[in-house]
């Protein structure tokens, strides 16, 4: 409102001035401009007093002196212009920070409001505040656990918002559960052990509130230079006063008006915010953008941040004599109508393997245990060991469980006609862009990268080892995560990246909180300073690039404006620049620095520019990677089960695998060498940058040939003990090279190029 009033007074004064010039009088214009300048001076005085109350002193002091001085010597127009510039700078700053206010609305909206309590044999619905420790409650399917308590019946819980664990967990009677977890299974009963105010979810809300309140005030970039500039201005004006009187001192003050400081930095940061938003990075204010460029420590949550957050079928371990593909097809057929979180990945894996799914009959599902039905006359059960009817888990299944536990994976048992047929292993894979993003962050000045998660330590350590993190902090509650952030802040400015309700306190407390907003909890987006609107971790790196460039341009504009003003002050102090010409020169300086600040509007240049042919080839080969990855997963599965099969079945499975390697994998690798890599070499530059990848192609082909030679040597006689050992060594080595090679290609070329192609197809800007 103040800006609108000041602009109106300046404009109307200009009209009166032109009319007065024609009529030979201009007093009305001067009076309007005096009012304009006086309002600006009052506002500047108020901002100076407010800054002093917070023990800060900024650019507004210079503006106040310039306004008072201009009014004192009758430079009404100069005073009006300075007032408008001052109000415009503050308005831009406030607008850019309009979304910076973080509140608890999403947390409060998600919080349970009511509970279902047993009164005798009846069930009543009460407000949450009426729940007392000892009350027996019922939690319906899909509802949040209202208070902390202990189970009296089995339950399946989605605890991802609290612990970060992506997979549902089965809890047994007498197990403790925390408020905020979601019921992912059938209704269950709960004995309350705390009131709503003392429960976990309410504690998270309080943590977010206290963390926000503890955020230190941020010093604006322009204010850091204001004191030095103020001293120089005061000295120059004093010298001018002594040498040439008050008029010359006012001339110095007019050209010293800090419009570059007031306007240049906000304009640059508003431009940077706009560029970031076009790339799906919502930054809540210019101060946040500046902090983002200055942070040197990054903390990451695990689930949904460094990992995909979606379960994936990693392998099928079949019983001796059973075919893994048959086990997969039967399990998927039973699970194809289940709403369970693991059903989708299971069915998708079966269809990707080319298996048609029969229609099940007599389906029975018990949440937390499993599902069973009949497929083509066979009784199939998928779920826990107890549900599958397994009392004594055989050695091969225990081995699969142990490997899954070490890898941080989940196992599901499959029984056919009462016998254990196989074990399904599900994992939460690391994001394909995670390693590339972390390397790029280190290259941009990040010195320390830490993962802090509520997941189990062995799972977290495995992810940390793959990504090369500086530290891994596991099994942490929301309050523990908050403490980790505070500890890291004592070392360096810190970014926290997360996506769940359990991350909200840490996001609010960090110097910059970054939420994976595309799939993450709304509460984390509310608590964060930056929201990644697309489900791509590498947007964090892009956001930092935009922030660093924006800060650099803002700093250039501020310093250039100050330098030009200092030169003009010297000229004015020497008596060679009257106030009127000084005001005009100052306006020219203002325009120059604002135009320079607007350079921040330009999109970032791609770090690697791919031509359209390379982009389309990358897109094609990335699609083929899904089939190659399926074969790579099968290599390990066949190796795991090779010594448990009958000789004839094992040899047949090995020959089928070799045929897939020859018909699927080797042609794909050869086509990459011939068609894709030459384009990538030209785009990346240097001396044969894809050479190491071609060398891996040669190693894969060599290992496939060795497997073929082994099969030729064996002939039709079957596999003896020595043959099995040789074959397993070959398969494990080949599987490791294949998985590593596929991951490297995804990280280095294919994910980024496919995104470029997708962006071009729907008119979006290409990734950088």
Write out pLDDT tens, residues 389-423: 888 888 888 888 888 887 778 889 999 988 888 89
Stretch 696-713: mean pLDDT, rounded? 85
Kind of pairing between the strands at 182-183 and 188-192: unpaired
Which residue has tokens 């785009």? 683
Give, in order, the Cα–Cα distances in Å from 547 to each of 268, 470, 604. Answer: 10, 24, 11
CB-CB contact of 307 with 428 (8 Å): yes
Least confident segment among 107-121, 270-284, 407-421, 644-658: 644-658
Name the band, by pLDDT with cuts 50, 70 and 90, for residue 116.
very high
| Contact partners, residue 29, CB within 8 Å, separation at least 6 | 13, 14, 16, 17, 20, 76
Q: Which of 100-104, 264-268, 555-559, 748-752 has the lowest mean pLDDT?
A: 100-104
pLDDT above 60: residue 101 = no
Give the mean pLDDT of 311-334. 86
For 485, phi then psi, to 5°, come to -60, -45
| H or E stretch at 149 | strand 149-151
The torsion angles phi and psi of 648, rounded to 5 degrees, stand at -65, -45
The yes-or-no verdict on residue 492 having pLDDT over 70 is yes
Report pLDDT for 743. 73
Residue with token string 């794909």: 668
Distances 586 to 39, 180, 562, 567 between C-alpha atoms, Å: 21, 59, 11, 11
Tokens linked to 129: 């505040």
CB 332 within 8 Å of CB 313 = no
For the cut 70, the answer to whether the pLDDT of residue 170 exceeds it is yes
Six-digit token pair at 471?
A: 């530290």
pLDDT class of 7 with cuts at 50, 70, 90: confident
618 close to 289: Cβ distance less than 8 angstroms:
no
pTM of the entire predicted model: 0.66
Mean pLDDT of 733-737: 84
Alpha helices in 643-690 (DSSP H): 647-660, 666-671, 677-684
d(CA 14, CA 12): 5
Determine which of 20-34, 89-103, 696-710, 719-733 has the lowest per-residue pLDDT on average: 89-103
113-195: in CATH 3.40.630.30 = no
**Among 62-66, 206-210, 310-314, whose mean pLDDT is lowest?**
206-210
**What are 683-701's pLDDT values in tens digits?**
666 667 777 778 888 888 8
Q: Which of 207-221, 456-470, 657-671 has the lowest mean pLDDT?
A: 207-221
| CA neighbor of 742 nearest in space, from 630, 634, 617 | 630
- What is the spatial order of strands in the sheet that 361-366 belongs to? 312-318, 419-427, 410-416, 378-383, 370-375, 361-366
Residues annotated as part of the active site: 301
**Counting beta carbons within 10 angstroms of the beta carbon of residue 356, is it exposed (0 to 12), middle (13 to 18) or buried (19 or more)?**
exposed
Report the alpha-carbon distance of residue 30 to residue 19 in Å, rounded: 12
pLDDT at 215: 46
Angstrom CA distances, 298 to 202, 284, 308, 485, 603, stand at 27, 18, 19, 10, 25
Residue 70 has pLDDT above 70, yes or no: yes
Helices (H), 56-144: 60-72, 76-96, 105-110
HSE at residue 716, side-chain half, CA atoms within 13 A, is 0
Most confident of 14-28, 197-211, 515-529: 14-28
d(CA 620, CA 87): 54
List, in sequence order, every residue forming a beta bridge with 177; answer none if it has no partner: 149
Determine contact, residues 559/58, Cβ cutoff 8 Å: no
Sequence spans of domains, the chain: 2-100+216-270+548-601, 113-195, 312-427, 612-761
- Identical topology for domains 113-195 and 312-427: no
Indicate the burial class of 91 (C-beta count within 10 angstroms; 0-12, 13-18, 19 or more): middle
Q: Is the pLDDT of residue 100 over 50?
A: no
Burial label for 713, CB within 10 Å (0-12, 13-18, 19+), is: exposed
Most confident stretch, 18-32, 81-95, 143-157, 300-314: 143-157
The DSSP-derived string for 533-559 is -SS-THHHHHHHHHHHHHHHHHHHHHH
Q: What percent of the chain has pLDDT over 90?
A: 7
Among 151-155, 321-325, 422-426, 647-651, the minimum mean pLDDT is found in 647-651
pLDDT at 179: 84
Q: Could you count the other beta carbons within 10 Å of the beta carbon of residue 194?
A: 17
Q: What is the mean pLDDT of residues 252-273?
A: 73
Per-residue pLDDT at 761: 41
pLDDT band at 614 (very low <50, low <70, confident <90, very high): low
Q: In the chain, how long is the greatest CA-to-CA distance? A: 116
Model pLDDT, residue 296: 92
With a cut of 50, say whether residue 34 has pLDDT above it. Answer: yes
* Strand 188-192 relative to strand 410-416, pairing: unpaired
pLDDT at residue number 520: 53
Of 226-240, 440-454, 519-533, 560-574, where does mean pLDDT reach its minimum? Answer: 519-533
Q: Who contacts 1 (Cβ-Cβ below 8 Å, separation ≥6)?
A: none
Instruction: Classify 157 as helix, strand or coil.
Output: strand
Q: What average pLDDT does the segment 186-213 reach?
A: 74
Task: Write down the residue that tokens 């690798």 correspond to.
Answer: 669
DSSP 624: H
Q: What is the pLDDT of residue 325?
A: 84
pLDDT: which is higher, 62 or 404: 404
pLDDT number for residue 99:
41
pLDDT of residue 747 exceeding 70: no
Burial of 698 (0-12, 13-18, 19+ CB in 10 A): exposed
Residue 639 has pLDDT above 60, yes or no: yes
Q: Where are the beta strands (DSSP E) in 207-307?
A: 281-283, 297-300
pLDDT on residue 764: 40
The residue that leads in pLDDT, 107 or 283, is 283
The sign of the torsion formed by the CA atoms of 579, 584, 589, 590 equals: positive
Residue 606, pLDDT above cutoff 70: no
pLDDT score at 653: 79
Q: How does the average pLDDT of the chain come out, rounded? A: 78
* Residue 514: closest CA among 527, 744, 522, 675: 527
Confidence (pLDDT) at 647:
52
Strands laid side by side in the 155-158 sheet: 169-171, 155-158, 182-183
Contact present, 108 and 205 (Cβ < 8 Å):
yes
Nearest to 482 by CA among 111, 210, 197, 166: 210
Q: What is the CATH number of domain 312-427?
A: 3.40.1110.10
- Angle of helix 434-443 relative to helix 457-467, nearest 10 degrees, comes to 60
More confident residue, 280 or 238: 238
pLDDT above 70: percentage of residues in the chain: 80
* Residue 191: pLDDT over 80: yes
């Amino acid at each position: 409102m103040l800006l609108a009033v000041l602009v109106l007074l300046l404009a109307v004064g200009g009209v009166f001035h032109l009319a007065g010039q024609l009529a030979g009088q201009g007093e009305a214009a001067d009076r309007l401009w005096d009012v304009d300048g006086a309002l600006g001076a009052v506002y500047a005085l108020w901002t100076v007093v407010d800054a002093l109350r917070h023990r800060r002193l900024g650019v507004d002091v210079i503006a106040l002196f310039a306004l008072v001085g201009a009014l004192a010597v009758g430079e009404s127009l100069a005073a009006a212009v300075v007032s408008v510039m001052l109000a415009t700078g503050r308005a831009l700053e406030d607008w850019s920070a309009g979304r910076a206010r973080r509140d608890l609305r999403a947390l409060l909206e998600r919080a349970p409001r009511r509970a279902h309590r047993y009164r005798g044999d009846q069930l009543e619905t009460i407000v949450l505040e009426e729940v007392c420790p000892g009350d027996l409650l019922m939690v319906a399917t899909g509802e949040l656990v209202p208070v902390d308590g202990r189970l009296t019946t089995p339950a399946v819980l989605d605890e991802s918002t609290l612990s970060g664990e992506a997979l549902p967990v089965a809890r047994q009677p007498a197990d403790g559960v925390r408020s905020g977890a979601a019921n992912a299974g059938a209704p269950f009963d709960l004995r309350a052990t705390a009131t709503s105010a003392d429960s976990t979810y309410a504690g998270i809300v309080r943590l977010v509130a206290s963390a926000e309140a503890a955020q230190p005030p941020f010093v604006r970039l322009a204010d850091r230079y204001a004191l030095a500039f103020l001293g120089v201005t005061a000295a120059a004006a004093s010298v001018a006063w002594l040498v040439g009187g008050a008029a010359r001192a006012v001339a110095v003050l007019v050209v010293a008006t800090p419009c570059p400081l007031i306007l240049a930095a906000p304009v640059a940061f508003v431009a940077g915010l706009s560029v970031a938003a076009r790339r799906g990075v919502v930054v809540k204010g210019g101060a946040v953008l500046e902090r983002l460029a200055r942070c040197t420590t990054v903390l990451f949550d695990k689930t949904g941040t460094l990992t995909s957050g979606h379960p994936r079928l990693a392998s099928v371990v079949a019983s001796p004599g059973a075919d893994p593909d048959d086990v997969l097809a039967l399990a998927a057929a039973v699970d194809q109508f289940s709403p369970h979180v693991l059903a989708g990945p299971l069915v998708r894996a079966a269809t990707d393997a080319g298996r048609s799914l029969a229609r099940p009959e007599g389906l029975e599902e018990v949440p937390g245990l499993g599902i069973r039905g009949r497929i083509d006359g066979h009784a199939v059960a998928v779920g826990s060991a107890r549900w599958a009817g397994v009392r004594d888990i055989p050695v091969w299944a225990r081995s699969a469980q142990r490997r899954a536990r070490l890898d941080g994976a989940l196992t599901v048992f499959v029984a056919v006609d009462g016998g254990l047929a196989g074990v399904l292993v599900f994992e939460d894979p690391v994001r394909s862009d995670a390693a590339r993003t972390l390397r790029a962050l280190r290259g941009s000045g990040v010195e320390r990268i830490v993962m802090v998660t509520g997941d189990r330590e062995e799972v977290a350590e495995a992810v940390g080892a793959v990504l090369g993190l500086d530290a891994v902090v596991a099994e942490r509650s929301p309050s523990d995560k908050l403490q980790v952030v505070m500890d890291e802040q004592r070392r360096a400015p810190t970014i926290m990246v997360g996506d769940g309700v359990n991350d909200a306190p840490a996001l609010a407390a960090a110097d910059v909180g970054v939420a994976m907003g595309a799939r993450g909890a709304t509460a984390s987006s509310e608590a964060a300073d930056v929201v990644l609107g697309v489900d791509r971790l590498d947007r964090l790196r892009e956001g930092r690039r935009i922030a660093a460039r924006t800060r650099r341009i803002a700093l250039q504009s501020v310093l250039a404006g100050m330098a030009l003003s200092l030169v003009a002050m010297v000229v004015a102090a020497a008596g060679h620049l009257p106030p009127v010409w000084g005001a005009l020169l100052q306006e020219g300086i203002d325009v120059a620095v604002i135009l320079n600040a607007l350079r921040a509007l330009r999109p970032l240049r791609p770090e690697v520019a791919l031509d359209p042919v390379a982009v389309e080839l990358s897109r094609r080969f990335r699609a083929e990677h899904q089939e190659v990855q399926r074969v790579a997963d099968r290599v390990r599965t066949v190796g795991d089960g090779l010594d448990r099969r009958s000789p004839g079945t094992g040899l047949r499975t090995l020959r089928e695998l070799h045929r897939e390697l020859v018909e699927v994998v080797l042609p794909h690798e050869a086509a990459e060498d011939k068609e894709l890599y030459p384009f990538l070499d030209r785009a990346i530059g240097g001396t044969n940058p894809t050479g190491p990848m071609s060398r891996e192609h040669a190693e894969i082909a060599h290992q496939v040939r060795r497997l073929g030679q082994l099969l030729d040597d064996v002939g039709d006689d079957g596999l003896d003990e020595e043959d099995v050992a040789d074959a397993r060594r070959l398969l494990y080595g080949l599987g490791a090279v294949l998985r590593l090679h596929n991951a490297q290609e995804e990280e280095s070329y294919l994910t980024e190029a496919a995104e470029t192609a997708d962006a071009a197809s729907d008119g979006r800007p290409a990734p950088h």
